Structure 1
Amino acid sequence: MNEQPLNCEQTNEQLADWLSDRLSDADRARLDMHLKQCPACMAEANSVRQLWQLMGNLPTPEPSATARVRFQAMLDTYKDTVTIQEESVVDTLLAKLRQVWTPKFAYRLAYSLVLISVGIAGGYWLNRTAVPTTAYQQQIDTLSTQVQEMRQMMLLSGLENPAASERLRAVSYTEEISEVNAQVVDALLTTLNNDQNVNVRLVTLEALAKLADNPKVREGLVQSIARQDSPLVQSALADVMVKLQEKRSIKHLRQLLRDDNLNGLVKGKIEQSIRELS
């Protein structure tokens, strides 16, 4: 029985397998037949092939932010649990504390520990006396606020670390912060625009896109278009603008098209984004 010819949607779904030689002979023949008959799909296939070639010429990217953070956490845990011959466990912990310990940090940490103790004692007392829980809830809310502030402080400190892996870890803290303040937004936008590591900028862009309900973040993302020189970041920003349906970006995307040095594939991506936003 002859199989039904592919339509355009099915063809686009199989392009990746086609380029990586993962299709069976029969499926490849069906896809090749459709490409010969469909100029639009052939153009798309050529565009995808060029993108793959471009990606192949790029340096091997570092692992994603989540993978690096998890690996670093596992490594830190391992270092904390083994005995080092030349350095005691206590010395190791003290060395790590010195890296992050500041009077402000110490104050916040001590205050948080006090609040935890008060919360535990208060909970025990409330269970014994069955008094109204308003005061206890206020203690919990205050503790939660302090934890959020500490996480934001760790994020700000991490973004200034010279190691790209630590800056990636810092960006990942945005997932644990319920509401970022203006200082964190400014730091993330600065990282997006100025960080020397493309992977850090890409992860920061992803984090900021999740905060796009904030008007300052949206404005910062739009303004960032003109400040990017990496084809990968330019293309990712165009995708974010389409996802957010940010029509203010059309002007900046068109200005980017005037750059004679703009990558050809990125130019096509931007032109497509402008059409989708118009």
Structure 2
Amino acid sequence: MKTPELSACHELETLLPAYVERSLPAAEAQRVAAHLPTCLSCQLQVTQLRALTDDLDAALPEVPRTALRANFMALLEQEKQLLKPAVAPAAPVQPEAKEAKMVSMWPTALANGWMRIAASIVLIAAGVLLGRNLSWKDGESSSVATNAKPAPAELAQSMRQASASDRIQLVSNTSKQTEPGDPTVQVLLNTLNFDASPNVRLAACEALYRLREDPQVREGLVHSLSIQTDPNVQITLIDMVVAMRVRRAVPQLEKLSKRADALPVVRAQAEAGIGKLI
């Protein structure tokens, strides 16, 4: 049986996302403010939520320009047409969210505050990633862009010397020229595990998903679950192993669902992933 203090804490917990967003009515905001000094658990969750909000604010200036978004939607439409049977459509098909997602397993709980905030950050990060990957189509070619696929050693050297935005472009361009079984796959896995930038690691996730038929990709994603600390990358990896039906990821997901340093939204996503794989 829950004590009155625990019951009050559980009730106020659902208000924390709106409290951080400053969207609570004044009376409820005062209740939360009065509760926080007496509850370390709620203080920690508020700190984590504010960190997520700061990540979102930091990403907003990098949202792709209108021209880049238009380029992306045009490419997306081309990909959708390639996936359809060779029959002329009766009418233009509008882009739908479920077709546009590379990996989409958000649980129903997305409606609550935790999931909305985390999902927003992931989507913003994806927008930044797509905008940068498409920048070369908008006349902004980077000095590291090249038509020839570099050898694995050359790619690794370039990754160490390039800026974060250039590393994203290198990962994207290289993955499009790489086939499963290529030694370059290991460079992409190293980038996923050790690159300092979460955006570059997200780009590596996207690249490795294209190469998911390579057996070492599945093993690499499972291993990476145990070492990632960025919530966006953690959630992306969870969705990827679930989409790829990598059942041997279940033990790592169980560990992640119990990690004290993982955000509640990440632990919830790991638990949801376990349910889909077992």
TM-score by length of 1: 0.52
Say whether 1:71 aligns with 2:135: yes
Return closer, same or farther for 1:46/1:156 CA change in 2, 3 Å cut-off.
closer
1:188 aligns with 2:188: yes
Aligned to 2:270: 270
User: What SS is found at the alignment partner of 2:134?
Assistant: helix
Distance in 2 of aligned mates of 1:57 and 1:182: 32
- 2:262 maps to 1:251: no
How far 1:52 sits from its partner (Å)? 2.1
RCO greater where, 1 or 2, for CA within 8 Å and sep 6 or more?
A: 2
The aligned amino acid for 1:204 is: A
Q: Show structure 2 runs of 5+ residues with no match.
A: 1-106
Distance of 1:232 and 1:57 partners within structure 2: 7
Match of 2:213 in 1: 213
Q: Which has the larger displacement, 154-163 or 266-275?
A: 154-163
- Aligned to 1:227, what secondary structure does the other structure show? coil
Counterpart of 2:267 in structure 1: which amino acid? K
1:173 equivalent in structure 2: 173
> 1-side partners of 2:177 and 2:116: how far apart?
36
Matched, 1:204 2:204: yes
Give the length in aligned residue pairs. Answer: 172
Shift in alpha-carbon separation, 1:170–1:154, aligned structure 2, 3 A: farther
Superimposed CA distance per residue, residues 232-259 of structure 1 (whole angstroms, 9 cap, x where no aligned partner): 1111111111111101100111112231
Q: Does 1:51 align with 2:110?
A: no
- For the aligned residues, what is the CA RMSD? 3.4
SS of alignment partner, residue 248 of structure 1: helix
- Whether the aligned pair in 2 keeps the contact of 1:168 and 1:203 (CA below 8 Å) is yes
Compute the displacement of 1:44 (Å): 3.9
- Residue 159 of structure 1 and its aligned partner are, at CA, apart by 2.2
| Offset of residue 73 of structure 1 | 5.5
For 1:239, the equivalent position in structure 2 comes to 239
User: For 1:203 and 1:274, how far apart are their aligned partners in 2?
Assistant: 24
Pairs within 5 Å for 1:78-227: 149-150=149-150, 155-179=155-179, 182-227=182-227
TM-score (norm 2): 0.52
Greater Rg over alpha carbons, structure: 1
| Contact 2:110 2:116 (8 Å CA) reproduced | no
Distance across 1 between alignment mates of 2:150 and 2:110: 50
Question: C-alpha separation between the residues in 2 aligned to 1:54 and 1:169?
Answer: 25
- Structure with more helix by fraction: 1
1:66 deviates by 3.8
Q: Percent identity?
A: 27
Shift of 1:270: 0.6
Check conservation: 1:253, 1:274, Cα contact below 8 A.
yes
Letter in 1 for 2:235: S
Partner Cα separation in structure 2 for residue 222 and residue 266 of structure 1? 16
| Partners of 1:152 and 1:177 within 8 A in 2 | no
**Residue type at the aligned position of 1:219:** E
Asked if residue 261 in structure 1 is aligned to residue 261 in structure 2, the reply is yes
2:179 and 2:222 mapped to 1: Cα distance? 21
Unaligned runs of 5+ in 1: 1-42, 80-95, 101-108, 110-146
Measured after TM superposition, the shift of residue 207 of structure 1 is 1.0
Partner of 2:29: none
> Within 1, Cα distance between the matches of 2:161 and 2:137?
16
Q: CA deviation at 1:74?
A: 3.9
Q: Is the 8 A contact 2:152 2:187 kept in 1?
A: no
